[in-house]
Copies of this chain bind each other. A is one copy, B any other.
Amino acid sequence: MANERVTVIDIAKAAGVSKSTVSLVLQGSPLVNEGTRTKVNAVMRDLGYVYNRGAANLRQSSAKSKIIGVVVNDLTNSFFAELAVGVDLVVQDAGFVQFLANTSESLDRQTEVIASMREHGISGLVVSPARGSRAIDFKALVSAGMPVVAVVRPVAGAKVSSLISDNHTGMFAAVEHLARLGHTRIAFFGGFEDTAIFQERLAGYRDGIAASGLVYDEGLVFACAPSRAEGAKAVVRAMAAVDQPTGGVCFNDAVAFGVYDGLRARRLEPGVDFAIVGFDDVIEAGTSVPALTTIAVDPQGMGRRAAQLLLKQINAGKAEAEAVVTPVRLVVRESCGVNKLKPGRRSA
């Protein structure tokens, strides 16, 4: 029940040296001779001394708290749990400790926890923004010079670094995959045309079409709100056309699920009558659709990258916003849409 806090001064007294010598030892300074160092260390062990980082931070520039904040929108979703593990991994190795908070998609919660973290003196923040986050939500942080990296969901207009999926490569690979299976009419579903992400993904689609020797047809691009409901409507529209597509790539997972729904409503079997590839933005939690190929990202790897990016900024001292892209891979399931393919071009 040793309750009184033991401080540098206690151990200085016990070791017969001065406060600052102890401090030097604490910081592993080479200016203290070996004998003193060992003695001091021994005393620290004996008295059960624990370093008070709060006090140290107070005295120092206060910029080096060795705490980084991690806020995710849904820790229940294993994607984000893995992401947190990835962050933790590199952050621990760098001698930092991480605050982890879960917002459950609540903007208020997010504001609260970020404020709280600031009060505790975090030296950087990795955040997977709650839905509906705006640049203004991070305004205070960035103008205070806090390094911030947004993952998974970029925040339009915010001067923070962001780490998002490789939109172009992902879509390109998806289209190539479908083309290789024999599809010649591949649609693009969902997304708001005025967003940067949409443009990137669409470009990947176009380039994939071209690279596969197919012709780009604007009539196969069905832009719509990136929601499940709109996705369902989009595919219905697509299937009403004279020259129906036999498969499609979707702006994100929500749209992909919508396309799935829309096909079922038309009595078509998703993945058999029509191939679907969804871009995995992890927007829908806990939803799982079989027979759906996705463009996926490795969450833990993304976490590691995010942490590295953040540490780089922290060490650089300045918060230069930077947009980085995380690799994606195609996770192929049974969704090749064989029924609609011309005989002879079907895949095994």
Name A's B-contacting residues (CB within 8 A).
1-3, 5, 48, 50-55, 57-58, 62, 65-67, 70, 75-76, 78, 81-82, 84-85, 88-89, 92, 95, 97-102, 109, 112-113, 115-121, 140, 143-145, 300
Contact = CB atoms under 8 A, between A and B. Distances in A.
Contacts of A120: 53-54, 66-67, 97
Given A54-B58, A140-B48, A144-B48, A97 B117 contact: yes
23 contacts: A50-B115, A50-B118, A52-B62, A53-B121, A54-B54, A54-B58, A54-B121, A55-B58, A75-B88, A76-B82, A76-B85, A76-B300, A78-B78, A81-B81, A84-B102, A88-B100, A88-B101, A95-B116, A97-B101, A97-B116, A97-B120, A99-B100, A100-B100
Identical chains bound together, number? 2
Nearest to A97: B116
Contacts of A51: 119
A122 to B, nearest CB: 10
A117 B67 CA distance: 10
Contacts of A75: 81, 84-85, 88
A54 to B, nearest CB: 4
B144 A50 contact: yes
A284 to B, nearest CB: 17
A99 B3 CA distance: 23
A1 B143 contact: yes
Contact of A98 (B5, B89, B99): B99
Ranked 4 nearest A-B pairs via Cβ? A100-B100, A81-B81, A54-B54, A51-B119
A85 B58 contact: no
Contact of A84 (B100, B116, B118): B100
> Most B CB atoms within 10 A — which of A48, A85, A112?
A85
Contacts of A118: 50
A48 B126 CA distance: 21
Contact of A81 (B2, B62, B76): B76
A1 B101 CA distance: 26
A58 B67 CA distance: 17
A92 B106 CA distance: 13
B81 A119 contact: no
A51 B117 CA distance: 10
A151 B41 CA distance: 33
Given A58-B55, A81-B81, A98 B101 contact: yes
